[in-house]
Amino acid sequence: MNTLIPDKDYRVASACGIVGIMSQKGKRFSGESIIKSIACMRERANGLGGGFAGYGIYPEFPEHYAFHLMYESEKSKKITEEYLHQNFIIEKDEAIPVQEIPEIKRNPLLWRYFLKPNIKNYDLSEEDFVVKCVMFINTQIEDAFVSSSGKNMGIFKGVGYPEDIGRFFKLEDYSGYIWTAHGRFPTNTVGWWGGAHPFGLLDWSVVHNGEISSYGINKRYLENFGYHCTLFTDTEVITYLFDLLHRKHNLSFEVIANILAAPFWSDIEREKNLERKNFLETLRIIYGSALLNGPFAVIVANRNTMIGLNDRIKLRPLVCAVKDDFLYIASEESAIREICKNPDKVWMPKAGEPTIGNLKE
CATH number for the domain spanning 340: value is: 3.60.20.10
Give the count of domains, the chain. 1
pLDDT band at 190 (very low <50, low <70, confident <90, very high): low
For residue 225, tell me if it sits in a domain.
yes
pLDDT band at 2 (very low <50, low <70, confident <90, very high): very low
Query: So which residues are the catalytic ones?
Result: 16
For residue 1, tell me if it sits in a domain.
no
Average predicted confidence (pLDDT) for the chain? 92
* pLDDT for position 3: 37
Q: What is the pTM (predicted TM-score) of this model?
A: 0.93
* pLDDT for position 122: 66
Q: Is-contact 199 241, C-beta < 8 A? A: no
* pLDDT for position 105: 85
Q: Which domain holds residue 207?
A: 16-358
For residue 7, tell me if it sits in a domain.
no
For residue 210, tell me if it sits in a domain.
yes
For residue 109, tell me if it sits in a domain.
yes
For residue 6, tell me if it sits in a domain.
no
Alpha-carbon distances of 69 from 172, 200, 238, 250, rounded to whole Å: 21, 12, 21, 29
* pLDDT for position 232: 72
Give dist(CA 52, CA 163) in Å, integer: 10
Q: Is-contact 216 230, C-beta < 8 A? A: no
For residue 346, tell me if it sits in a domain.
yes
CB 352: neighbour CB atoms within 10 A?
18
For residue 345, tell me if it sits in a domain.
yes
